[in-house]
Amino acid sequence: MLTMKECQCCLSPTPEATSICDVCGYDFEKKCITDARMLRQRVKQLKHAKDWISEVELKRRVHEIHTKNSTRWRFRISEDGWLEVGGRKWTFRSAAKLFNEQKSQIHTDLALAEALLQYPGFTWSDCPNKKQAIETKDEFDLLGVPPFFISESDLQKYIEGNWKTISVFREWNLTGSAVKIQGGEIDLLAHHRVNEKWLILELKKGLADDKTVGQVLRYIGAAKRDIAKDHEDVEGLIIAAGASKGLKDSMPIAPTINFMAYFMEKGKLDFLPAPFAFSSFFLRLIRLHGFDDAIEQLSKITQQTDSEE
């Protein structure tokens, strides 16, 4: 009976007598990858299968194994070509050479792999791609709890389908969604019931940053030119799970744009206006305990701080 062993990198079963894994190029004797062709081909297969979870986990294991390997080594990159990695410290740059990818991509993938370990209770397979997984990771890092929506389209469909029951929109008529405009697409577009003005809603499932402000400003300019009448105003509203410091710093230069953080309260979507929406601590309390309990806990913390002073 053939005795098998498991490859430390790709976890594939391999015959005991095999010296190099024929799936990922791991060398069982040298305890490192010596055939990058196989590794890159394996990553290519996972990308093609859209199996981003297996891809980032493979990269994490490869990175961890080589971080422990402090000797100089070479890996095959073609039939006759070899590339040597010098030095005694494995870095993101080393990993980028091995996988033949950008260092920034390696950094992102390893961060996602770490998130899989850090938040094992979440069903990461619900995220169909890395983009949504990154947004989910950012939301986890900010608030420490699972997200309400997996994708921005889920958030958009919820708001669109419940527009008439959401109090912050009672003064606005929803006129369109995914509105094509020069330079992009407006998530939701509304017109005021009484005043002559338009509202552009930009939705972010996770964190909104300063780039979002620039995006909405472009949409406002395009809407003034192509949608609004000469006497009508156009405002912007960014809705997200939280805000980066960059967004908070950018808001004063964009007075026609507001920001609100969304949260679920008793099964319904609700919104926290600025400046409270910029507090990740307060948003975390709301996610964990509900709005009323969060207010009570925040009040206790404030009173305790005042008494200590």
Same domain, 111 and 20: yes
Query: The CATH number of the domain where 287 resides is what?
Result: 3.40.1350.10
Residues in CB range of 53: below 8 A, 6 or more apart? 116, 124, 125
Per-residue pLDDT tens over the stretch 57-98? 999 999 999 888 766 677 877 766 777 665 567 888 888 989
Same domain, 96 and 163: no
Tally of CB atoms within 10 A around 175:
13
Same domain, 108 and 55: yes
Whether 277 is in a domain gets the answer yes
H/E stretch holding 223 reads helix 210-226
User: Domain range for residue 273?
Assistant: 152-308
Same domain, 280 and 223: yes
Please, what is the end-to-end C-alpha distance for the chain in angstroms? 75
Whether 241 is in a domain gets the answer yes
Question: Residue 138's pLDDT is what?
Answer: 85
Same domain, 57 and 163: no
Cα angle for residues 193, 199, 200 (degrees, 5° grid) = 150
Same domain, 94 and 171: no
Residues in CB range of 83: below 8 A, 6 or more apart? 36, 74, 75, 77, 97
Tally of CB atoms within 10 A around 28:
16
Can you read off the two tokens belonging to residue 140?
Answer: 């986890």
Question: Residue 295's pLDDT is what?
Answer: 73
Mean pLDDT to the nearest integer, 284-302 = 71
Distance CA 251, CA 271 (A): 18
Whether 94 is in a domain gets the answer yes
Q: Pick the most confident of 1-5, 21-25, 140-144, 296-300.
A: 21-25
- Under the banding of pLDDT at 50, 70 and 90, the label for residue 299 is low
Whether 136 is in a domain gets the answer no
Instruction: Compute the radius of gyration of the chain from its Cα atoms.
Output: 25
Residue 20 has pLDDT above 60, yes or no: yes
Cis peptide before 273 (omega within 30 of 0): no
Per-residue pLDDT tens over the stretch 34-49? 899 999 999 999 999 9
Residue 289 has pLDDT above 90, yes or no: no
For residue 35, the 8-state DSSP code is B
- Under the banding of pLDDT at 50, 70 and 90, the label for residue 304 is low
Whether 101 is in a domain gets the answer yes
Give the position of tokens 């990461």. 124
Same domain, 165 and 288: yes
Across 256-288, b (16+ Cβ under 10 Å) vs e yields ebbbbbbbeeeeebbbbeeeebbbbebbbbbbe
Same domain, 178 and 77: no
Same domain, 13 and 64: yes
Indicate yes or no: pTM above 0.75: no
- Count: domains in the chain: 2
Residue 143 has pLDDT above 90, yes or no: no
Whether 177 is in a domain gets the answer yes
Whether 126 is in a domain gets the answer no
Q: Quick one: how far is CA 234 from the chain centroid? A: 29
Same domain, 81 and 165: no
Whether 123 is in a domain gets the answer no
Of 204, 208, 171, nearest to 190 by C-alpha is 171
Question: Residue 1's pLDDT is what?
Answer: 66
Per-residue pLDDT tens over the stretch 236-267? 999 998 898 999 999 999 999 999 999 888 77
Per-residue pLDDT tens over the stretch 105-131? 999 999 999 999 999 888 999 899 998
Same domain, 94 and 191: no
